A and B are shown apart, each in its own frame.
Chain A
Amino acid sequence: MNKGRRNVLQQGAGFGVLSALVAVGLVRPEDALAQDWKAAFETKSVADTMKALGGTPPAESKDITITAPDIAENGAVVPVAVASAIPKTESIAILIEKNPNTLAASFSIPAGTEPSVGTRVKMGQTSNVYAVVKADGKYYMTGKEIKVTLGGCGG
């Protein structure tokens, strides 16, 4: 993991991040059952979060839909809904790249439940929001930029 790559991640150069992320995500083998949620929620970058989730490198997917406003007036309450059209979706995680801790929420979806969840999250500043879906043991992700006019963290 070289430093230049990390910088690219932190500056969040849009979807160009994904390829770097795929490379970084290779570090740890899948370890899904031993997930340490506390550690996962303390991660500070998208790549670290993926590692903590036990993630294999996520592939970009158009089958995931993020429903959220383009511009959020109040960062303390940003409605985000994620729906996945990928068969055998097992879990959905919401990652906010520029929040102090990247991982916002993770949902596990048992069979019989539709892979569609909605919640409201806090965003400290304008950031890319990623939805990471685990389906059939593989990880997929998609992203969306949400502009925040008033921050919701700190203050």
Chain B
Amino acid sequence: MADPMKIRATAQGDTVEVRVLMQHEMETGQRKDAQGKTIPAWHIAEVTATANGKPVLSAHWGPAVSKNPFLSFKFKGAKGDKVQITWIDNKGDKRTDEAVVV
């Protein structure tokens, strides 16, 4: 199981800005190891975010997203909302973390 995400969600007026830092290798599938064998791609393929159970963002990613991906987005919400982020990688591994908007 992967390491936890760092989620920071702050409200400014009625807009909530969410910043997420995920821990993931994001291997591109382009690199080769010392033996010249291609290292298979291993990256987050899908990210979904919900606030109080309602979807606020979904994303599909390719291997071109940087290692330990960063994501920021804004939605209409308020303090106390529960933001939940889930990612699924191309090996089917997944992780969900949540944070409360401050």
Contact = CB atoms under 8 A, between A and B. Distances in A.
A106 B59 contact: yes
Interface in A78-96: 78-79, 81, 96
Interface string B51-66: 0001111111111111
B86 interface: no
B76 A113 contact: yes
A120 B69 contact: yes
A65 interface: no
Contacts, number: 103
B65 A104 contact: yes
Nearest to A93: B60
A152 interface: yes
B30 interface: yes
A108 B70 contact: no
Given A113-B57, A154-B31, A76 B67 contact: yes
Contacts of B75: 112-114
A77 B35 CA distance: 26
A153 B59 CA distance: 22
A154 B59 CA distance: 24
Contacts of B67: 76-77
A27 B31 CA distance: 33
A107 to B, nearest CB: 4
Contacts of B69: 119-120
Nearest to A78: B66
A153 B32 CA distance: 11
A121 B57 contact: no
Nearest to A75: B66
A118 B18 CA distance: 10
B23 interface: no
Nearest to A81: B72
Contact of A41 (B57, B59, B62): B62
Nearest to B32: A154
B45 A37 contact: yes
Interface of B: 15, 26, 28, 30-31, 45-46, 54-67, 69-76
